[in-house]
Structure 1
Amino acid sequence: MMWSNFFMHEEDRRRRAHGARKARMTPEHEGKIKLALLLTSVGATLAVLAVGTEFWVELNTYRDNGSAVCDAAHLGLWKMCTKRLWQADVPAGRDTCGPAELPGEANCTYFKFFTTGEDAHIFQRTTKKEVNMAAAVIAVLGLAVMALGCLCIIMVLSKGAEFLLRVGAICFGLSGLLLLVSLEVFRHSVQALLQGVSPEPPPSPALTYEYSWSLGCGVGAGLVLILGSGFFFLLTLPPWPWGSLCPKWGHRAT
């Protein structure tokens, strides 16, 4: 009987403590946190889509090769796809082969420098594996920090641990910056690829390049995550600084 009363009192104490923690967060404040989390979830979706797809850049040969087919390629952080397209399918007025989304004979392979350390060869050009690997590692690190930020905000909403709100804001801001840095490093890897012409025959074809929608998703993800981080930081600020600038608003807030 004594032990049952002890456990009942202990459970009641924990329930009251949990209720007190939840009571510190007003429904209005909780709603703002959920709206900011919704914004960052859009950035998180774009980030996963960008990192997981291989349409970061398209490499296109020129059409005037005296053949009924032309070659194009598209690549991302993890793999590369070369495609042989029919000249008749290429839009009229376009000097280069593509876009890569056109139907054709495709050959997709993962980069071997993640496993065996070998460079990849595209149109008689060689990738600079150190730069490509750096871009991929930075992007994965950004996703990991982003996941940590999501966990912090979920703990704020479920457990009332508002001190994690600032930690989550830092994580989202850092993940956005890491994604943007990864994009810049990838841009340098593309430049290194175009300059890495192989001296061995056959001669390297002339190429043009254009950044594609996966890279656009990465840019959007980085900006949205940084914006969401700013919103979370604003939610951690006390109301009194704003009250001194706008007395009526500050009076309502208190």
Structure 2
Amino acid sequence: MMWSNFFMQEESRRRGAAGRRRAHEQQGLELTPEHEGKVKLALLLATVGATLAVLSVGTEFWVELNTYKANGSAVCDAAHLGLWKVCTKRLWQADVPAGRETCGPAELPGEANCSYFKFFTTGENAHIFQRTTKKEVNLAAAVIAVLGLAVMALGCLCIIMVLSKGADFLLRVGAVCFGLSGLLLLVSLEVFRHSVRALMQRVNPEPPPAPPLTYEYSWSLGCGVGASLILLLGGGCFLGLTLPSRPWESLCPKRGHQAT
């Protein structure tokens, strides 16, 4: 009888401890209104970065290639390209600003011819103004950018789970995803810069001779830089929300008043 009572008390104690532990875990998963508001603000910031990232990767105004106006003709040639396709344009020199020595900007109305890069399908290099792309570098820039968008989408999913299910532990995962996506976009931008330099140097020796060119980076690349910085900032905000509000209290806990 004594042993049976002992086992029953022990079992009740274990069940009570398990219940308190489950209640504590459920309480830890719940977001307070203040914490939820901070998460939503950080998500709004990350959404701005995500929008800029999609806009940058999806458009082809990363760099503009411009020939010089002094060619003895009423028209001049320009081009703009991104990660996926290139557009060559024939512009009227009368539309080009008077103080500009080169043809452009590429946004001016003119006869345009756009095509996707063939190295995504057939593995062929593209030829732009008697210059040849270095497909390995272009492919690397595109793949890294797509990986950045995929990781960014995973971060958005984690934060949505935090707000909808109260899974507070996913904040750290979302912070890492947003920070990593920002870094990947920055790496993609740098690789693309190397591809532009390689394009300018790879001049075809066959006639006709390659025209002299200048290049300037355009607004799509600027959107990519802004998206990278905002995503890094958003990841830092999410990571800061996972830290205790007063971390020094855990390092230096206050001592209670001693009984006299």
TM-score by length of 1: 0.87
Which deviations, in whole Å up to 9, do the C-alpha atoms of 1:118-137 show, x marking residues without a partner?
Answer: 00000000000000000000
Does the 8 Å CA contact 2:30/2:168 hold for their aligned counterparts?
Answer: no
In 1, the alpha carbon distance for the partners of 2:247 and 2:34 equals 19
In 2, the alpha carbon distance for the partners of 1:24 and 1:61 equals 61
1:57 aligned partner: 63
CA positional deviation for 1:240 = 3.1
CA positional deviation for 1:91 = 0.4
Which deviations, in whole Å up to 9, do the C-alpha atoms of 1:98-143 show, x marking residues without a partner?
Answer: 0000000000000000000000000000000000000000000000
In 1, the alpha carbon distance for the partners of 2:104 and 2:194 equals 23
Structure 1 residue 155 and structure 2 residue 161: aligned? Answer: yes
**Counterpart among 95, 98, 117 of residue 101 in structure 2:** 95
User: Residues 208 and 115 from structure 1, CA distance in 2 versus in 1: closer, same or farther, beyond 3 angstroms?
Assistant: same
Does the 8 Å CA contact 1:22/1:159 hold for their aligned counterparts?
Answer: no
In 2, the alpha carbon distance for the partners of 1:21 and 1:212 equals 50
Q: Secondary structure at the match of 2:177?
A: helix
Bigger Cα Rg: 2
Does the 8 Å CA contact 1:74/1:81 hold for their aligned counterparts?
Answer: yes
In 1, the alpha carbon distance for the partners of 2:217 and 2:153 equals 27
In 2, the alpha carbon distance for the partners of 1:119 and 1:244 equals 59
In 2, the alpha carbon distance for the partners of 1:64 and 1:232 equals 54
1:74 aligned partner: 80
Give ranges in structure 2 of 5+ residues lacking alignment.
1-21, 254-260
Which deviations, in whole Å up to 9, do the C-alpha atoms of 1:206-232 show, x marking residues without a partner?
Answer: 000000000000000000000000000
Note the aligned Cα RMSD (angstroms).
1.9
Which deviations, in whole Å up to 9, do the C-alpha atoms of 1:179-208 show, x marking residues without a partner?
Answer: 000000000000000000000000000000
**Counterpart among 230, 238, 242 of residue 232 in structure 1:** 238
CA positional deviation for 1:25 = 1.2
Give ranges in structure 1 of 5+ residues lacking alignment.
1-15, 248-254
Does the 8 Å CA contact 1:21/1:160 hold for their aligned counterparts?
Answer: no
Among the aligned pairs, what percent are the same residue? 85
Q: Secondary structure at the match of 2:199?
A: helix
**Counterpart among 196, 199, 206 of residue 200 in structure 1:** 206
Question: What letter corresponds to residue 213 of structure 2 in structure 1?
Answer: L
Does the 8 Å CA contact 2:29/2:168 hold for their aligned counterparts?
Answer: no
Q: Runs ≥4 in structure 1, deviation > 2 angstroms?
A: 20-24, 242-245
1:43 aligned partner: 49
CA positional deviation for 1:239 = 2.2
TM-score by length of 2: 0.85
Question: What letter corresponds to residue 148 of structure 2 in structure 1?
Answer: G
CA positional deviation for 1:23 = 7.1
